[in-house]
Amino acid sequence: MDHVSPKDGIAGLFENWRNDLIASIGVVLVALPLGLGIALASNVPPMAGVTAAIIGGIVTTFIRSSHLAINGPTAGLIVVVISAMEVLGDFRYVLAAIVCAGVLQMLFGLLRLGKFGDFFPSSVIHGLLAAIGIIIFAKQAHVALGTTAESHSYIDILLEIPHSIITLNPFPTLIAVLSLAILIIHPRVKNKLVHFLPAPIFVLFISISLAYVFHFFENHTLTFLSKVYEIGPHLLVSIPEDITDSILFPNFGKMGEIEFWTIVVSIALVASIESLLSTAAIDKLDPFKRKTNLNRDLFAVGLSTCVSGCLGGLPIITVIVRSSVNINNGAKTRWANFYHGAILLVLVFMFAGLISQIPLAALAAILVFTGYRLASPKVMSDIYSKGPEQFLIFAVTIVITLKMGLLQGIFAGIVANLIIHMISVNMPPKLFLKFLFKPVMTVIEEKEKQHHLKIEGVANFFNILHLMKKLNAIPRGEEIDVDFTHTNLVDLTTQEYLHDYAEKYRKQNGIFHVIGLDIHQSFSDYPHSLRIHRPLNKIYSPTRRQEELEEMCTKHNWDFDARLRWGITTNLEAFHFFDIRPVEYYNNKIHGSYEDLKIKWEISDITFDEGALLGRQVYRTTVQVVKLPRSLPVFCLEREEFFDRFLGITGYEEVDFKIFTDISHKFVVKGINSEEIHSFFTKEIVEFFESQEIYHLESNGQDLLVFKYLRVASPKSIEDMVLYSDRFVHLIS
């Protein structure tokens, strides 16, 4: 759906202050406990994380290009800061390294190195993040249990967890267990009132209450099952009574040591990679489809990191989880990031005493949960589903990172990727390296405004910058054919890049085709999986559900196509629901029509994302799109909850959709034009919807979107959905 982009700058401040302020409050409620937890997990003063969040909001906002991103500290840099503390010995030396890393990032931005974010293979990045997750989980599990680890090796710290379970302190452990339960259950509760407050705030409510019950504020002992346990302020966050005392200044005394600069490069590289990935992901979630200048954002987070390091704060990046919260809460401009920093600044001065009552076990639980999500079995399953070679690259990156460090892990993952490609393509090493360093990519202008890009040999992450250069040289709004007929190997990173590029190019009124991949062997069913140019004799074996769908389609004389396709079916992005939910791929496509009205429709199982990276949730659902017999108002209809009525009263808007609660008490309508909506929802139409099961029904003015569940539908549910939309279309016809 096309939206008019909000104004920027001072005009945007006055136009959208309500939406941005509401969104920023939700972000603050996540940022405060995470900032404290990240600092504590990094073995630095707790206010270092909050200081970084404040500066990330107040300073970065005015320099960067991104509109909806939130800037602050991240769990991804915990491991680097821990290593820095171990190597440099004092936090003031680490602050100096943070300042220098910020300068290096600013240099990256000035040298326009933002494009290198597309260079790193996704399996290497996920392996790096998973290793960080394992380390965070290993270290914070002991804090959650009220114990300490004796080992220094990350693997040994992980292996010590059983011993800590045996010797746990039951009182902080209870707080940690309840906190984890809240973090696990909260996303599964489908109630908007519950989601008004993020899970970490419920964690703080419960944990601070239990701190009072167990009286953590004075040193004493408590007995449980005949054993005596130490209780006291050592189990709580410790911050200065005067917040200004938390300001520390860097010491550049170790700038002459090689270890210092190793830390600088590690911080700058990991922070830059994570920022670039997060910013690109946030652009996909932006309902206004605004694009970020990555080089400018690199410079902005680098400058903010310098300021943060000068005042005793951690490095600053673009953080995906808080940015997803910001977008989902309806933010429209960069001012939401500024509000989040300003509100945090006020909170730490006004409520420092309350912050010092937060149990360490609660923050540890938040970080244990974060670490688990980075390295969960689901993450590993998702990687394996993209191809066994992707899982091998992922595993190599994890192992080397745990054993040797982050930079070594990234290097090992890249080398493993190249070795796997060379073995898979069965090409002499000399020839393989020639294709890497001197890729053969030729653009032929076949006729006016029609370009044929022929790629020979190898197309992988290593030469993607050359591919980028070739594509960017072609004018916008023309026709491009990317031909892999003569390419021996096409990797996942290249295909994912082309997928994103194709979407952008088509939005600029261009035509973009990828041809030649049908003669390649795929290593998995994932649409972008590694492809090798050799014969493939693969027998298609339908699932039981696909067999049932085929039987249903035969009965109703509908067309059925089970093939998996990447990209989007129909024009789903024109619907409000998919403004911030990118569609990845679809299959099981059904075509039909309401013959008496000569109206066509189609149904597909689609896979889409909500959030991104660490905050990413993947959904599969079955949707129907109906070509409308006439133009309708732009609206969406869904079951009403109490929270919708509350938001309607406050004048809250989702992008440019307002909430209308005066049409029915059974469902809520959201839309743009109040007069058109009230005119359309006549008594007859309202009675129809009130007499039916409530579906998500949405009009973009020309087409209708219908679905019921955020899961794939059974054949019977599909028949019910077709009948529901049939009745509605006949009613309005």
d(CA 728, CA 722): 10
Q: How confident is the model at residue 56 (pLDDT cuts 50, 70, 90)?
A: very high
Task: Please indicate whether residue 675 or residue 662 has the higher confidence score (pLDDT).
Answer: 675
The DSSP H or E segment spanning 675 is: helix 674-680
pTM across the whole model: 0.78
Please give the C-alpha separations between residue 275 and each of 65, 250, 372, 717, in angstroms, as whole numbers. Answer: 13, 24, 21, 42
Q: What is the pLDDT of residues 11-22, one digit of tens each?
A: 888 888 888 998
The predicted pLDDT at position 614 comes to: 58
Paired strand residues for 230: 221
User: Would you state the pLDDT for residue 615?
Assistant: 61
Give residue for tokens 């007859």. Answer: 684
**Rounded to an integer, what distance in angstroms lies between the CA atom of residue 360 and that of residue 23?**
27
What pLDDT digit, counting tens, does each position of 338-354 carry? 999 999 999 998 888 88
Residue 653 confidence class, pLDDT cut points 50, 70, 90? low
pLDDT value of residue 29: 86
Point out the least confidently predicted range of 139-143, 202-206, 579-583.
Answer: 579-583
**Contact indicator for 32, 347 with CB cutoff of 8 Å:** yes
Instruction: Residue 325: name the closest of 280, 363, 285, 274 by CA.
Output: 285
Strand-pair partners of 276: none
Q: Kindly report the average pLDDT of the chain as a whole number.
A: 88
Residue range 449-507, pLDDT digits in tens: 889 999 999 999 999 989 999 999 999 889 998 998 889 999 999 998 898 888 888 88
Neighbouring-strand partners of residue 228: 223
Q: How far is Cα 72 from Cα 428, in angstroms, rounded to an integer?
A: 47
Q: Say what the pLDDT of residue 568 is.
A: 58
pLDDT score recorded for residue 530:
92
Kindly report which listed range (74-83, 127-136, 280-289) carries the lowest average pLDDT score. Answer: 280-289
The most distant pair of C-alpha atoms in the chain lies apart, rounded to whole Å, by: 87
C-alpha dihedral (85, 88, 89, 94), degrees to nearest 10: -60
Q: Residues 505-551: pLDDT tens digits?
A: 888 889 898 888 877 888 788 888 999 986 544 444 677 888 899 99
Higher-scoring residue by pLDDT: 150, 185: 185
Position 235 scores a pLDDT of 93
**Closest to 77 (Cα-Cα) out of 104, 49, 51, 116:** 49
The answer for 701, left when phi > 0, alpha when psi is -120 to 50, beta otherwise, is: left
Query: According to the model, what pLDDT value does residue 203 have?
Result: 92
Q: What is the CATH number of domain 435-532?
A: 3.30.750.24
pLDDT score recorded for residue 534: 64
Please check the confidence at residue 118 and state whether its pLDDT lies above 90: no
User: Radius of gyration of the chain from Cα atoms?
Assistant: 27
C-alpha span between 297 and 294 (Å, rounded) = 5
Instruction: Give pLDDT, residue 647.
Output: 53
- What is the per-residue pLDDT for 536? 44
Check pLDDT > 90 for residue 48.
yes
Q: Residue 655: its pLDDT value, please?
A: 61
User: What mean pLDDT is predicted for residues 48-62?
Assistant: 95
Q: How many residues does the chain have?
A: 733
Token reading at 542: 């339908």
649, pLDDT greater than 80: no
Instruction: Give yes or no for residue 571 having a pLDDT over 80.
Output: no
Higher-confidence residue of 563 and 366: namely 366
Delimiting residues of CATH 3.30.750.24 domain(s) in the chain: 435-532
Q: Is the pLDDT of residue 567 over 80?
A: no
Would the pLDDT of 1 be above 70? no
- 365-421 pLDDT tens trace: 999 998 898 899 989 998 999 999 999 999 999 999 998 888 899 999 999 999 999
pLDDT of the residue at 643: 53
What is the phi/psi pair of residue 256, to 5°?
-85, -5
pLDDT of residue 75: 85
pLDDT digits 0-9 by tens, 679-706? 999 999 999 998 988 899 999 888 999 9
Provide mean pLDDT across the span 101-129.
89
Kindly tell me if the per-residue pLDDT of 117 is higher than 80. no
Nearest-10 crossing angle of helices 47-58, 9-41 = 160
